[in-house]
Each structure stands twice: as C-alpha cells, then as structure tokens.
Chain A
Amino acid sequence: MVEYTLRFSERHAYDSFTTGITIPAVLKTGGNKVELLAKIDTGAEDCLFERAYGEALGLQVEAGVRKSYSTANSRFEAYGREISIHALGTETTATVYFYADTTIHRNVLGRRGWLDRLRFGLVDYDQLVYIDGYDS
C-alpha cells in the first residue's frame, strides 16, 4: 500500500458550530487593512468578498475587472482587485473579487490566489485545518 505524507507548519482549530469552515483573514491594500471571517471553499474558483470590505479598504470596487460567476442555480457578478490576503500564518497576493451585489454576505477563500498557493489539509472530524506554503 502506498502511503502519502504531507507536512504543515500551521494548524488552526475552527468552530464547527459556525456555518462552513470559517477562519479569520486580513485583506490589505495600499496601507489599508480589514480583518474578516472567511470560509474556506474548495468549490470556489476565486477568493470572493463582500463589496463592503472593498469599500472599507478604500477601493473603487467597480473600477476592477468585472467577472461573472455561476452558482448551482443562478449567477452573480464581481469585480477583481489585486490585494494581499493574510490568513493562518501565510500571506498571498492575488486578484480577489468583490461582489457587485451589496446584498451578498459571504466571504470565501477559494482556489486562485489562496488554495493554489498552499498545501492544505483538513480533518473535519477534529475541526482542524493544516496549512503551509506550497514551496515551504
């Protein structure tokens, strides 16, 4: 039997009673920063945040690159801006997206810009996330 082993430098215990796997994350751009709670989402193509956080960072959200997303039964629009994400001891810089619709209140750390920069382990039974930089 082949065994696979991964090593991680960080471990985070998350609250299993919160919807989704929720972790604190700090968004930074141009000297501004805001800390929020985001859900780790392997099904999300990009990192997506509430529009209000973009505005809190002083961004003109709609000046970003517009992108359309599909969901299971609908679609939505978002605008991309390059910012830094600090979460669980790592920092990545990537284009993240802010919802055009102010009524969407869901922050997700998705694949591009976050998961694709990391090694990521999850043991939901123990409510533990393991994480390290991809090249660490």
Chain B
Amino acid sequence: MRNIIHPSLLTSATPEGRRSTRVPRVRRENQRRRGTTLAALGSRVVSPAQNVRKRRALSEGCPSPGSVRRIVPPKLDGTGARRLEQDWLDQHRAEFAGAWVALEGARLVAHGSSARQVLEAAKSEGYEQPLVVHIPSESPLPFGGW
C-alpha cells in the first residue's frame, strides 16, 4: 500500500537530540522517484471563472489583484530564505528569551526590548535590512489556529 512507509526509510533524531534540519530520507526518496516538480508539470492554468464574484467581494476596498508585482526572486537557501537566521534562532532561543533581536546571517546584529530599538541599532551598524524577530519568553505551544 502506498502510504505505508517501510521502517528502514524512517530517520531518527540526531545523536545530540537536536532536530535535524535535513530533509528526511523518505522525502528525498519520494522527490527522486517523482522526478518532476509540480511547477514543471504542465502549462495550463485553469481560471476560477466561477469565483469572480466572490473574489470581487473579498477584494472590496483593497487594491486589485493586479497590484501584485514581481520582484527579485528569493534564493531557495541562504539569505532569501533566512535559513541561517532561523538556525540561529533555534540555537539561541533560551539565551535571548523575551528579547527582540536583529540578525544578519548567523550574526546577532543587535538585541533589545523593542523592534524599533534593535532596527535602529542595526542600521547604525550598517545593516540596512536585518531580520527582526521577537523571541518569546516561553516555548510556544502548538498553535491551534484562529
């Protein structure tokens, strides 16, 4: 049966107990078997014509969908995905619990008690667009949705 995963394909936590950020082997296998990505599958775009009225009502008072503009594509890894910053947050969460931090790559640029404070401190150090994040005081519970 397709949904049953053989135990040999399952991965375990790293020896240090830290969560691995690598793609689990089962997923890599799955990606390799499939070969093509969703984006590469076809050229047809099915227009949700029947939803036009609903979309119009939803967008009332907002700029039209045409206001979307393409900008420089992000990188899958590195700065575009802020992967290094997210790794830093995983590693230093306890150390900076309750604080705001400004990060650029794996570097802590500034930290303090408000977003504005750390953004200004980062700018004064020459970092124009650091990632600014509040680190919660306690480990967040699983989110149950709105």
Contact = CB atoms under 8 A, between A and B. Distances in A.
A43 interface: yes
Interface in A1-27: 4-15, 17-20, 22, 24, 26
A35 B100 contact: no
A111 interface: yes
B57 to A, nearest CB: 11
Contacts of B58: 111-112, 116
Contact of A10 (B23, B59, B73, B133): B73
Interface of A: 4-15, 17-20, 22, 24, 26, 33-37, 41, 43-44, 50, 52-53, 55-56, 69-72, 86, 88-95, 105-106, 111-113, 116-119, 121, 123, 125-127, 130, 133-136
A70 B45 CA distance: 35
10 contacts: A8-B38, A11-B39, A19-B140, A19-B143, A34-B129, A35-B129, A69-B146, A116-B62, A116-B65, A126-B27
Contacts, number: 160
B79 to A, nearest CB: 9
Interface in B22-62: 23, 27, 30-31, 37-39, 41-46, 55, 58-59, 61-62
Interface residues of B, number: 57
Contact of B115 (A5, A20, A53, A89): A53
Contacts of A41: 146
A47 to B, nearest CB: 11
B146 A71 contact: yes
B67 interface: yes
